[in-house]
Amino acid sequence: MAYFSLKPSNLVIAGRPVHYAWAIVTVAAIMRLFSSSFRSSSSILIPRLVDSFGWSYGAVGLGFSIQWVVSGLFGPTAGWMGDRYGVRWTMTLGALLFIVGMVLTGFMRELWQFYLFFGVILSAAMGIFQVPLTAAVTLWFRKHLGTGMGLLQSSQGIGPLIAVPVMLFVIHLFGGGVTGLRAAFWIPGLAGGAILLMMIRFFYNEPAQIGLRPFGAPDDEPIKAVQTRDVAKVRTKVFLKQAQHTSAFWNLIGIHFWGCAGHAIILVYLVAIAEDQGVSSGLAAGAFVTMSVTSTITRFGVPIIADRMGSKPAMAGCFFLQVAPIFLLFFAHDPWQFYLFAVLFGIGFGGEMSAFPIINRQYYGSGPIGTTYGYQMMGAGIGMATGALIGGQLRDWTGNFDATMGLSLVLSLTGVVSIMLLPTTKKELLPDWEEQLPQETLIAPAPFTAGND
């Protein structure tokens, strides 16, 4: 055996064979980090957009809400494109949209341009790197899917920790104001887009494309043929039609909506809630950072738990930790109380979303779940926008955050109840879905031999 080989079908590092599934996770995590970091850094962008262009906080906040809605509505389409045309082609489109969206946002002068360039174009790119990318990674694992998804999901939590100082440095380097803000979009947009395009070269749609079985599959399992575009189109259509007849398909969309609507309120207003209780702006921001760091840890750990113990109890536990800590906010006055809340809520917030790819595989096996997961992300995007908008309106109407916090509690609690209604994850819901396929679309073993491993 070679001491070092970068051949995808025979990857060897320091004399040890490594399945290319781990390279796929690494590549996907890097792409997720660069594509989602800047949306997660809205807390530093909003005040600078207000100062630089004279727009109101409400007008700028609407732009971020548009982005959540658009990325959510685009989720099913992005998933369908990945299932139909392959993830590499779809992600190439996403990388180009990312570059165009970031560059055009840097050129913006009017509010409508912010809504179009940042809220629509850039959001479509993020939807591509959120949905088909995640669904594709799940195809590479038969075992240890939880570890792989944990590594991928935690990269999204790390994103703001990298993007915030980078953007602040660029803004400062170019003298602040409109010039610095433009550079903060142009430089990360061009550099990040170039990295995305480079990473796509190392990504493959499925193990069969390079003559491999999924990681953990039996050695005697036939290597399935790579799906062609026409075959993929029919398979996706047939699978989606059957999936839509399961209650879990619709319930998972709702669960993603309830959970994201509930934690969007906290993500947007936690700092303001703390400052309303006399906590300094620095300590209030520190509570938000604490929540982000905690969520990064649970983004990694919860998929592993969901893979080994079942997604349903893991999701229920995380949703409960989006409910119980809210009671602490009603009585919190001292900084330590907000930091305690941030840790507890961060556990629930980070783990709530990261189990969804696992539960899709547990319910639907090796089916083309990109479109199905896209519908769930549609629920997430609309939920994020709904929670942020209604939470802010309640603050304006009542003069305090009590009703806003109560709304977050009710939304997440509805998610807990919805999870209890899910079927068990111990057996697939559609084990025989391929029996409905036309004969010519059935996947036969490809002409690979065991030696290709």
> What pLDDT digit, counting tens, does each position of 58-105 carry?
777 788 788 888 888 888 888 888 877 888 889 999 999 999 999 999
Tens-place pLDDT, residues 102-138: 999 999 999 999 999 988 998 888 888 888 888 888 8
Listed by start position, the domains of the chain span 11-207, 228-432
pLDDT computed for residue 40 by the predictor = 61
pLDDT of residue 446: 41
**What pLDDT does 449 receive?**
33
What's the mean per-residue pLDDT of the chain? 84
d(CA 67, CA 74): 10
Tell the CATH topology of 11-207.
Growth Hormone; Chain: A; (1.20.1250)
Residues for the chain: how many in total?
Answer: 453
Fold match flag (11-207 vs 228-432)? yes
Asked if the model's pLDDT at residue 277 lies above 80, the reply is: yes
CA distance 272 to 285: 9
H or E stretch including 17?
A: strand 16-17
Q: In the chain, pLDDT over 90 holds for what percent of residues?
A: 25
Cα–Cα distance for residue pair 126/116, rounded to 1 Å: 14
Which of 281-295, 335-349, 386-400 ranks highest by mean pLDDT? 335-349
Q: Which helix (H) or strand (E) holds 183?
A: helix 177-200
216-239 tens-digit pLDDT: 888 888 777 656 567 777 888 899
Number of C-alpha atoms within 13 angstroms, CB side, residue 409?
13
Contact 164, 158 (CB under 8 A): no
Q: If one looks up domain 228-432 in CATH, what number appears?
A: 1.20.1250.20
| Nearest in space to 129 (alpha carbons), one of 164, 103, 99, 172 | 99
Q: What are phi and psi of 108, to 5 degrees?
A: -60, 150
The pLDDT tens digits of the residues spanning 160-197 come to 677 777 777 888 888 878 888 889 889 988 998 999 99
Residue 205: half-sphere exposure toward Cβ, Cα within 13 Å: 23
Residues 6+ apart with CB under 8 A from 130: 32, 35, 36, 71, 75, 78, 377
The answer to whether the predicted template modeling score (pTM) of the entire model surpasses 0.85 is: no
Three-class DSSP category at 435: helix
Which of 356 and 414 is assigned the larger pLDDT? 414
Tens-place pLDDT, residues 341-379 = 999 999 888 887 788 888 888 899 878 888 888 899 889
pLDDT of residue 444: 47
At 452 the pLDDT is 33
Which pLDDT belongs to residue 227?
61
What per-residue string of b and e applies to 41-80 under the rule 16 or more CB within 10 Å gives b? bbbbbbebbbebbebeeeebbbbbbbbbbbbbbbbbbbbb
Per DSSP, the residues of 156-171 read HHHHHHHHHHHHHHHH
Q: Is the pLDDT of residue 279 over 80?
A: yes
Q: How confident is the model at residue 38 (pLDDT cuts 50, 70, 90)?
A: low
